[in-house]
Amino acid sequence: MTKGRIVGIKRFEIHDGDGIRTTLFLKGCPLKCKWCHNPEAISSKSQVAYLKEKCIGCGECVSVCSAHAHSFFDGKHVYDRNRCVHCGKCVDVCLGDALTLYGREISPKEALKLLTEDGIFYNSSGGGVTLSGGEPLQQADFCMELLKLLKTEGIHTAIDTCGFAGKSDIDKIIDDTDVFLYDIKFYDNKKHIQYTGRTNKPIIENLKYIDIKGKPVEVRIPLVSTINDDQMEPIGRFLATLKHIRKVKLLPYYNFSSSKYAALEMENMLPAVETPDDRQITDAVGILKSFGLNAISGKE
């Protein structure tokens, strides 16, 4: 059994596919999008986030950490990330809720138990479970096992992917995935490389492959002002060549996750751009619609 490394689970989620869903966020992503809202999901390694403001100086962490990553200096609590081996002990005892462990490992069976807790809400709403991240296909074997378990329980499954994966990984999960939520950021490859650090070739190719296989796809485009708002036309033209694109959803960029970067001591590269206004969103939706696509605003 392959263990999965997870960021967390979100229940009562309605934006990751149809109906009421539970979303499992997996850790690790091959892209480095500058606007990433989930920095805790980027690294495939475990991380402890420490929110200084919440620390009440109770000292519980110091007594449980055998790696001596927590200490008090001048009466103030200090956390030394370099010593930490991510055992999670301090997180469990922290009385200020200042510590969070991203990257807990769980087996597909354990995941199944957590993901089916809200099972009673799935049927009535047409919902189910969504695997997201990070990039879930970075842990394709875990996803494969988990999806199989979910399907045996008769649960609707969705995968939220950036598409940067090997074909063999897609093959592992495609049969047990009911719908793909597929992110497209740029059609222009140069820009793709500039803003995400990777080429978009496999992304485009994988989408074509999934389409040939006949799986329904909901494409999601983060709309970041001045960065990819010129991409609607080429993206639209490309998507129009595919057969199973059910929906294209535009997700306006909000600049609000900087505190997460600080808690993880990661460099914040969030672009300082305005959130697209309704007009910009409507325009972008209009362009996509002109290609015969079922485009909607994520705010709808």
Residues of the shown chain interacting with other proteins in the complex, contacts defined by CB under 8 A = 8-15, 18-20, 56, 58, 95, 97, 114, 117-118, 120-121, 124-127, 299-300
Residue 84 CB, nearest distance to ligand SF4 (Å)? 3
Residue 77 CB, nearest distance to ligand SF4 (Å)? 4
Say if residues 165 and 206 touch (Cβ distance below 8 Å): yes
64 lines the binding site for ligand SF4 (CB under 6 A): yes
Among 11, 14, 59, 63, binds ligand SF4 (CB under 6 A): 59
Residue 169 CB, nearest distance to other proteins (Å)? 26
Task: Kindly give the residue spans of alpha helices, DSSP state H, lying in 175-224.
Answer: 189-196, 201-212
Among 95, 193, 212, 269, binds ligand SF4 (CB under 6 A): 95
Name which of ligand SF4, other proteins, none residue 55 binds, using a CB cut-off of 5 to 8 Å depending on partner kind.
ligand SF4
Name which of other proteins, ligand SF4, none residue 114 binds, using a CB cut-off of 5 to 8 Å depending on partner kind.
other proteins
Token pair 């036309």: residue: 233
69 lines the binding site for ligand SF4 (CB under 6 A): yes
Name which of ligand SF4, other proteins, none residue 69 binds, using a CB cut-off of 5 to 8 Å depending on partner kind.
ligand SF4
Picking from 107, 124, 93, 100, the residue whose alpha carbon sits closest to that of residue 51 is: 100
Picking from 210, 221, 227, 267, the residue whose alpha carbon sits closest to that of residue 248 is: 221
| C-alpha to C-alpha distance for 266 and 49, rounded to whole angstroms | 10
Residue 9 CB, nearest distance to ligand SF4 (Å)? 20
Which residues share a beta bridge with 6? 26, 104
The vertex-228 CA angle with 222 and 233, nearest 5°, equals 100
DSSP type of residue 275: P
94 lines the binding site for ligand SF4 (CB under 6 A): yes
Dihedrals phi, psi of 227, to nearest 5 degrees: -105, -50
Dihedrals phi, psi of 226, to nearest 5 degrees: 65, -10
Interacting stretch for ligand SF4, rule CB under 6 A, among 1-9, 64-72, 174-182, 255-263? Answer: 64-72
Q: Which two tokens stand for residue 150?
A: 């979910």
| C-alpha to C-alpha distance for 262 and 242, rounded to whole angstroms | 41
Residue 8 CB, nearest distance to ligand SF4 (Å)? 16
Residue 76 CB, nearest distance to ligand SF4 (Å)? 10
User: CB count, 10 Å around CB of 191?
Assistant: 16
Identify residues 29-48 at the interface with ligand SF4 (CB under 6 A). Answer: 48
Say if residues 248 and 288 touch (Cβ distance below 8 Å): yes
85 lines the binding site for ligand SF4 (CB under 6 A): yes
Dihedrals phi, psi of 216, to nearest 5 degrees: -65, 145
Interacting stretch for ligand SF4, rule CB under 6 A, among 2-10, 54-62, 220-228, 239-247? Answer: 54-62
Which residues are near ligand SF4 by CB under 6 A? 48, 55-61, 64-65, 67, 69-70, 77, 84-90, 94-96, 98-99
